[in-house]
Chain A
Amino acid sequence: MSTYAYYPGCSGLGTSQEYESSTRAVCRALGVKLIDIPDWSCCGSTPAHTVDHLLSSALAARNLALAEDLDAAAVITPCPSCLTNLKVAVHRMSDREFRMQVNKLLDKPVDRSTPVKSVLQVLAEDVGPEAVAEMLPHKPLAGLKLAPYYGCIMNRPPEVMQFDDHENPMAMDNLMAALGAEVLPFPLKVECCGASYGVARKDIVAKLSGKLLQAAEDLGAHAVVTACPLCQMNLDLRQGQASSAMGHKFQLPVFYYTQLIGLALGVPQSELGLSKLCVNPRLALDAMHAAQAEKRELEARKEADKKTPKAKAA
């Protein structure tokens, strides 16, 4: 397995700590070697590209330049917002003139064009759901009904992101199915949750996240599973606001996909960070355990029924 230059992103140090620690633990368990980009800085996220594209690319590119010294196969990040900024910077810097402009803003210029991927892409393509399924033949997440939510920018626009399907991505679905989970056909996989408007216009987030939660609940999901720190925060921390906006009380846990892979792999609780989720994840895990117990009982009864006629015949 290759070595990757790892870009955690600012939220990994704060509001998405559990995504960060579970990502590292899962990568370690699956043999994905990460080397942190030394002294990485913020990519500028949405605010930078709303000010200027050159500034935005320069903030992202500082990290790409630092990653060059690591000689890694790719720069990878768990966060879709960081991913977009890094990928857009690489995409635009294929234009020589633009790259020169960016480099004028940097201390250390970008020389090479390093591939940038999400951690999800590496787990889905370089490790693969088949390998995960082989490691866990007992299907530890059987009975867990999940609504997979990718958020809007993990796969869009396709020319830039170059990963999975832009309307119906399957990477997370396939990984979760490999662990035995029942992955529901979630129609709002790539709809926006309200993004960074939570602070300035929480009415927008409440409405858009509310729609997502409603759709997941209508499908009978035990939980939503996501790959984005901002989506997770909007759906989980702001679930009460979404409930008020929709006039309906939601109680739907929102996991990071790495937490569920970690749970299946037996990663210690301290690294999974399930206690850092706002909506109690017990709700979903209890439903999963109940479904597993029911299945076991059904199988035991079938087995007993098989034996009984024989016993009678004897």
Chain B
Amino acid sequence: MEVVDIHASCDHEFIAKVEEESEQKVRLCYQCGNCTAGCPYTFVYDIPVSQVMRLVQAGQKERLLSCKSIWLCATCESCTTRCPNEIDVARIMDVLRHMARREGYVAEKNVKMFWDTFLDSVEKHGRVFEMGLLATYVAKTGRFWTDMELGPKILPKGKLSFKPHEIQGKDKVAEIFKRFREMQQ
């Protein structure tokens, strides 16, 4: 078991930042474990969600931002819905992802790559171009064999378009991204 000396390594600024960005009082978590009990992703997490909450309380920034769990949370809202103290736990997981991105931590590179490629597609076309998204993702990750067996199942159905659905306002959508980036600086 990992031992954490919370006096030696507690980052108070980090706790305050998580609370501010998530608008949640992390201190209200009394470790009942309900979130972990209902979380369908614990089997792939390196830190179960209730322990993520405890580590936020203990200000363990480095440990949290470098963990896999924050990239594998699907925001299924089970934890948030079942928290007896009405803490929006899924929103805290989201905020930890935001912080990890800003500070350059990526414990699940392919997950981040998929999300980034998705957003690039939206920025470029205004809507997601599914076929383009898959092709770009495969090219960037080099995972040519992944899901190969699904091709013959889906392609004959005529559901995947080979052309993007460009919209008139695609520049307006690109502007949202541009202004967002400017605001971040």
Residues of A participating in the B interface, judged by any CB pair closer than 8 Å? 10-11, 13-17, 39-42, 44-55, 58-59, 62, 104-107, 152-153, 156-158, 166-167, 190-192, 194-204, 207-208, 237-238, 240, 275-276, 278
Encoded as 1 (CB less than 8 Å from any A CB) or 0, chain B from 128 to 156 comes to 10110010010000000011011001100
| In contact, B110 and A192 (Cβ under 8 angstroms) | no
B7 in the interface, Cβ–Cβ < 8 Å? no
A158 to B149, CA, bound (A): 38
| In contact, A41 and B169 (Cβ under 8 angstroms) | yes
Chain B residues with CB below 8 A from A48, complex form: 119, 122
B4 in the interface, Cβ–Cβ < 8 Å? no
Contact partner of A14 among B74, B119, B159, B170, CB < 8 A? B159
What 17 additional pairs, Cβ within 8 angstroms, besides A15-B154, A47-B115, A237-B153?
A14-B130, A16-B159, A41-B127, A41-B167, A41-B169, A41-B170, A47-B119, A50-B94, A50-B98, A58-B180, A59-B176, A104-B179, A152-B76, A191-B40, A192-B74, A199-B114, A275-B157
A129 to B74, CA, bound (A): 32
A289 to B134, CA, bound (A): 39
Chain A residues with CB below 8 A from B161, complex form: 13-14
| In contact, A50 and B76 (Cβ under 8 angstroms) | no
Chain A residues with CB below 8 A from B126, complex form: 41-42
A72 to chain B, nearest CB (A): 19
Chain A residues with CB below 8 A from B119, complex form: 44, 47-48, 51
A14 to B183, CA, bound (A): 33
23 pairs across A/B with beta carbons < 8 Å? A14-B159, A40-B167, A41-B126, A41-B170, A47-B114, A49-B75, A50-B94, A52-B180, A55-B180, A107-B175, A156-B77, A157-B81, A166-B81, A167-B81, A194-B74, A195-B75, A195-B76, A196-B114, A197-B72, A201-B108, A202-B146, A207-B43, A237-B153
Residues of B participating in the A interface, judged by any CB pair closer than 8 Å? 40-41, 43-44, 72, 74-78, 80-81, 88, 90, 94, 97-98, 101, 108, 110-111, 113-116, 118-119, 122, 126-128, 130-131, 134, 137, 146-147, 149-150, 153-154, 157-161, 165, 167-170, 172-173, 175-177, 179-180, 183
